[in-house]
Amino acid sequence: MKKLLVILMAIFILSSCMVIKYTHEQVMDKKMADLHSKEDIINSFGIPDKKKVEGDREEWIWYYGQERRPADMATLLLGNDIGGTYNMTDKYLKITFKNDKPYSYETQGLDYSEKEENPVGTISAIIGIIIGLVLLSSVYSL
């Protein structure tokens, strides 16, 4: 229970200090709207790792490694303390072209969101930490 409270406090702290100015989808949608050719795509993302052609559609894929994701809620909250299980997933960007023009995109495991500092949230987080520590010390006699 103590570890769960610490995890929840950490999540609160991290989410309070920054706010999302533009979501991943907003950033990608704007970027894709500004890219009109394969040359634009290469200039923005570099040479793709894989290309696949089917009829009038072509897929370009960029791989950015793998990430370890918890396989269940218990692993997410408690991690290795319970012998947690994880899945390895690829992080990638896939852009589909139709008639040689960028048509759609798909991402997994990437975050192009734009964040900015949140001073009010930071102050709130510090106050929350102090209150949390006082509560924890009274419950667990720290």
pLDDT along the chain (142 residues), means of 10: 62 64 92 93 95 94 87 67 74 94 93 81 71 74 57
Across the chain, where does the E strand assignment appear?
A: 18-22, 50-54, 57-70, 86-98, 101-108, 114-117
Residue pair 62/93 in contact (Cβ under 8 Å)? The answer is yes
Which pLDDT belongs to residue 87?
Answer: 78
CATH code assigned to 24-112: 3.30.1450
pTM strictly above 0.75 = no
Which pLDDT belongs to residue 77?
Answer: 66
- The span from the first CA to the last CA of the chain, in angstroms, equals 14
Which pLDDT belongs to residue 6?
Answer: 64
